[in-house]
Amino acid sequence: MTVSPLATLPSRLLRLVGLVAVVSAGGNTLLHHGWWAVAAVASWIGWVVWIVVPERPRWPTVLCLVAMAIGGGLTCSFSAGSAITALAAVFAGFALLDEPVAVGAVIAALAIFGASVSQWVAGDAPSSLLAVVSGALVMGLMGWTRRQSRIAAEQNRLLVEQNRVIRAERDRAAALTERGRIARDMHDVLAHTLGGLVLQLDAADALLEAGEVDRAAERVKASHRLAVSGLADARRVVGALRAEEVDLGAELQRLADDHRGSGGRVEVRIDADLRGLDEQTAVALSRAIQEALTNARKHAPGQPVSIDLRTGPQGLTAVVSNALGSRVAALARTGSGAGLLGMTERIAALGGSVTAGRVDGHWTVRIRVPAPGRPVAGS
């Protein structure tokens, strides 16, 4: 555990006050007891070093507490201040956070042994030794309690830090998910609109080369309408971020109208109850069907497309199918596959599935999303 210098300042001041109290309580008396004065001075030196020694490494602190326990215990019969020194060493030994509890037990044993020697030399009554032992037990329990509270505080700090990291990762994941969703929306809008514009302008260019100015002008006007529709789509994408509900049926009809405006043929069949459909599912389905229409216009221009939306035992199923073109379209090689990938990711986020492939001479995209409150079955 990292401890800042400011955090240890109050405890160091408290140790200094303890040293002053111990010396004041009987320092002059102890200095007149011959060799016992050496033990007293050793305990005082332990106090001084304990006050100034850094928190790391721990071994200087342990040595100081050992000197205080032995010196204080050996002279406790001659001065009450020495008893305070021994008991303070016991408390601090048990309170050491990075050392095993056995270190506190050894310091307590040394203090009690020194007190026993002191009581025997001084000829004091056994009750005096019992008081020292009782004091050591009480101070050891207090030190152990202090140790447990510091451990709990450190665990709480680590838990708070862990929660902060988890929240940061969750926010980052949410931001990435939102960025991916916006990217898919923008891709769907741009691919749908720009693909149609290229087809219309290619047709206008061909008509101009053939001298059919009136028909070319109609194509240019259709391109203008498509560009206006694309701009509205882009605004709708931004507005969908705050929209509360989406009318999926009306959205599919709008997509069909746009496809017809680009010169395509499309039939929409809806055999499903769309009331109560949540906004996320409605947007995902409309974007997926929009991407399927864009792919049909790119790879099989002019071929009829059918959109079939119905409710089944597996939830909502949308099938977009178009006949395969007999020639390679101009836009067939312009895609990067991001549209199909985005469609799959969008539907998978709802617990649904997307399959696409050739079926009886048609390119068929099947989109399944689960009914509210139930997962989709395997495709």
CA distances from 201 to 2, 69, 75, 210, 296 (A): 69, 96, 105, 14, 18
> Residue 5: which pLDDT band, with cuts at 50, 70 and 90?
very low
Residue-level pLDDT at 259? 81
Residue-level pLDDT at 305? 92
Q: In what order do the strands lie in the sheet with 304-312?
A: 265-271, 304-312, 315-323, 362-369, 353-359
Confidence check: pLDDT of 14 > 50: yes
What contacts 114, CB < 8 A, 6 or more positions away?
39, 69, 70, 71, 72, 73, 74, 76, 86
Average pLDDT over every residue of 142-158: 88
Average pLDDT over every residue of 250-278: 83
Average pLDDT over every residue of 151-161: 88
Residue-level pLDDT at 331? 43
Q: What is the mean pLDDT of the chain?
A: 78
Confidence check: pLDDT of 185 > 60: yes
Q: Is the alpha carbon torsion for 119, 125, 128, 130 positive or negative?
A: positive
301: Cα within 13 Å, side-chain hemisphere = 18
CA separation for the pair 151, 154 (Å, rounded): 5
Residue-level pLDDT at 192? 63
Residue-level pLDDT at 33? 64
Confidence check: pLDDT of 54 > 90: no
CA separation for the pair 119, 371 (Å, rounded): 85
CA distances from 6 to 11, 13, 55, 161, 337 (A): 10, 11, 12, 21, 60
Residue-level pLDDT at 338? 59
The residues that bridge with 267 in the sheet, in sequence order, are 306
Residue-level pLDDT at 46? 86
Average pLDDT over every residue of 164-170: 82
> Residue 376: which pLDDT band, with cuts at 50, 70 and 90?
very low
Residue-level pLDDT at 375? 46
Confidence check: pLDDT of 197 > 80: no
Higher pLDDT, 168 or 29: 168
Phi, psi of 366 (to 5 degrees): -115, 125
Give the percent of the chain with pLDDT over 70: 81
Residue-level pLDDT at 377? 44
Residue-level pLDDT at 27? 63
pLDDT tens figures, 331-358: 444 444 556 777 788 888 888 889 988 8
pLDDT tens figures, 57-113: 778 888 888 888 888 888 887 777 888 888 888 988 888 877 888 888 898 899 888
pLDDT tens figures, 16-53: 887 787 777 766 666 666 667 788 888 888 888 888 88
Residue-level pLDDT at 321? 92
